[in-house]
A and B are shown apart, each in its own frame.
Chain A
Amino acid sequence: MRVLVPLPIALPLLAAGLSMALHRRTQAQRALGLVVLSVNLAATVALLVRVDGDGPIAVHVGGWQAPVGITLVADLFAAVMLVVSAAMVLAVLVYSIGSPRTADHALFFHPLYLILAAGVSASFLAGDLFNLFVAFEVMLSASYVLITLGGTRDQIRSGMTYVVISLVASTLFVTAVGLIYAATGTVNMADLAGKVGDLPGPVRSALGLLLLVVFGIKAAIFPLFFWLPDSYPTAPTPVTAIFAGLLTKVGVYAIVRTQTLLFPSDEGGSVLLLVVATATMVVGVLGAIAQDDVKRILSFHIVSQIGYMIMGLGLFTVAGIAGAIFYIVHHIVVKTTLFLVGGLVENATGTGALRRLGGLLHRAPLIAVLFLVPALSLAGLPPFSGFVAKLALVQAGMDAERYVVVGASLVVSLLTLFSMTKIWAGVFWGTPDEEPPLLSARGAGHLAAPRLMVAPTAALVVISLLVAIGAAPLYDLSRQAADALVERTPYIQEVLGP
């Protein structure tokens, strides 16, 4: 069953090559993407079942043993992330096939999209720091092209910011890898877990901080988030949705992985993470309140939500990390859905600016419902998935007696609700200040939405409801994953041998 581990990387990568060869045959490219990503989803589910039963699985690619060779490790946390990301990638592909005016028709959308999927999987599975760097680069190179796919002036402007900031982060990452190798003589994470502890305190802190900055830029935590709200909204909707759902969370995943495996539980790190988490939550949500465009509001909310995940990690308790994992799962589903709904609105009306929209509740009730569920979930209202996730985090915070960050998280929830109602009031109620051309051209009747766009969005809404209904088993799973992260030994033993 070890063959399951490299599959989520190998399948999309091979398919990307094939898809490149099929260029100009859009139908074949679409079919290939759908088949491969469906198989990929099935493989990741099988992997999750397997890992849940037998513990972590490590594969030494090419037969070179750790710590020298390339190691792929699937533990419970990685397997959960793989399943969620595989589901998102598939749903967004269906959406992009269904949407009439998007990047789907661009020549290289499909191969790039598959490479992106492979890069995301590789980041989750990477067992050493350098492979994590390579996986990041695979993912980012694809994302550079996807974000500037249209080549318009806006996309180039904001894409430039995105590429340059990512490149600076990558350079710092290489530097960190070099320094870590110089200090310990290894880049394998399981091996490092034993060796980093022997380093002198200041060196360890410096390396930990450097990695935190590197992943912090990718994850868009305060004060390294400024590139995100400017670059995401200009890309085509399916691209923005998948970036919003997955890319920043890969950064969060890397932070969780390195902080728990390499730099576990030191008091200074915990306080630093909690301060960063609070600032990220507050600044993100304040930024969102000041915006007046659907996609820009949602982009600032990504930043704000990252703060919750970092808060769970910063508590450094099993409950806290379990809450963070649950939150990541909930957030990926809900955030992707919200961006897809934003795309539905733009597709129906031609704009995402709040002052030009209004009254969609009567003209497109289905879109309104599809927006309402994830929006309330994002704000953390019961009975939706966000409520369970926030409850888990708040309880963990109370248990750890970190009252300031808990208080901040509750206030931020309220402000999130406020800015969601702002979208609701702007888009679905009232009348627009100035009607957009596309909307007035369509008369006063009912607004139709392409079925292939609505279906995946609705499917994701259902998944987010399932996350809420199945909260108990899913939280147990998160708890087990957090247990394994804190305990470390099974992971290390699986990679290095007993």
Chain B
Amino acid sequence: MIAVLALAVGFLYAMGTYLVLQRKLTQIVIGLAIMGHGANLVLLMAGGRAGRPPFSGAGSGFADPLPQALALTAIVITFGVAAFLLAMSYRSWLLRHDDEVEDDLEDRRIARRAGGSVEGE
């Protein structure tokens, strides 16, 4: 199981990173959410091998609860911030009717110096 989980973590990070590097806001938001899932899986795996009971009365035979508590906290935080990001990209769409991330000020300046045309001006 642990190998499957490790592969899943790698896959989630790869997919998240790819999406964050795109220019569409929705893709970035989804990418961040997927990367967050990867991070939560890492936390869960830090608790030890999979397959142990969540709690039991007898001795040390149960799964480590601390990483699960950490993962739970992290999930709640990611959820809240993702909601804010979505609200922000909606606002951006209302203002510009476009889903692309704009060039920042320095990029525009460099483009202007190079004599190219600047998008959105």
Contacts and interface: CB of A to CB of B under 8 A. Distances in A.
A137 interface: yes
A207 interface: no
B62 to A, nearest CB: 15
Contact of B46 (A133, A159, A182): A182
20 contacts: A133-B74, A134-B73, A141-B81, A153-B96, A157-B92, A157-B101, A167-B32, A168-B35, A171-B36, A172-B39, A174-B36, A174-B39, A177-B70, A178-B39, A178-B46, A179-B42, A182-B45, A182-B46, A187-B66, A230-B104
Contacts of B95: 153, 156
B42 A178 contact: yes
Chain A, interface SS category: helix
Size category, A interface: 20 to 34
A148 interface: yes
Contacts of A164: 20, 28, 32, 85
Given A174-B39, A182-B42, 10 more contacts: A134-B73, A145-B84, A157-B101, A159-B88, A164-B85, A167-B32, A177-B43, A177-B70, A178-B42, A182-B46
Given A171-B39, A178-B39, A156 B67 contact: no
Nearest to A148: B88
Contact of A156 (B92, B104, B105): B92
A158 interface: yes
A68 B66 contact: yes
A174 B42 contact: yes
A207 to B, nearest CB: 12
A163 B84 contact: yes
B91 A151 contact: yes
A171 B70 CA distance: 13
Contact of B84 (A141, A161, A174): A141
Contact of A167 (B40, B74, B85, B105): B85
Of B16, B28, B45, B104, most A-chain CB atoms within 10 Å: B104
B38 to A, nearest CB: 8
Contact of B39 (A156, A157, A159, A175): A175
A304 B106 CA distance: 17
A181 interface: yes
Contacts of A181: 43, 46-47, 66-67, 70
Interface string B16-47: 10001000010010001001101110110111
Interface string A135-167: 001000100110010010100111111011001
A141 B104 CA distance: 23
Contact of B20 (A133, A168, A187): A168
Q: Which 3 A-B pairs have the closest CB atoms?
A: A178-B42, A182-B46, A174-B39
Chain B, interface SS category: helix
Contacts of B77: 134, 137, 141, 170
A76 B118 CA distance: 51
Contacts of A133: 74
Nearest to A156: B92
Contact of B104 (A161, A167, A174): A161
A171 B85 CA distance: 15
Contacts of A134: 73, 77
Nearest to B44: A178
A55 to B, nearest CB: 29
A135 B10 CA distance: 27
Contacts of B84: 141, 144-145, 163
Given A163-B88, A167-B32, A174 B74 contact: yes
Interface in A178-195: 178-179, 181-182, 187
A130 interface: yes
Nearest to A130: B70
B105 to A, nearest CB: 6
Contact of A160 (B74, B101, B106): B101
Interface in A340-370: none
B45 A167 contact: no
Nearest to A233: B105
A153 B80 CA distance: 23
A229 B105 CA distance: 10
A230 B91 contact: no
B1 to A, nearest CB: 15
Contact of B67 (A141, A145, A163, A178): A178
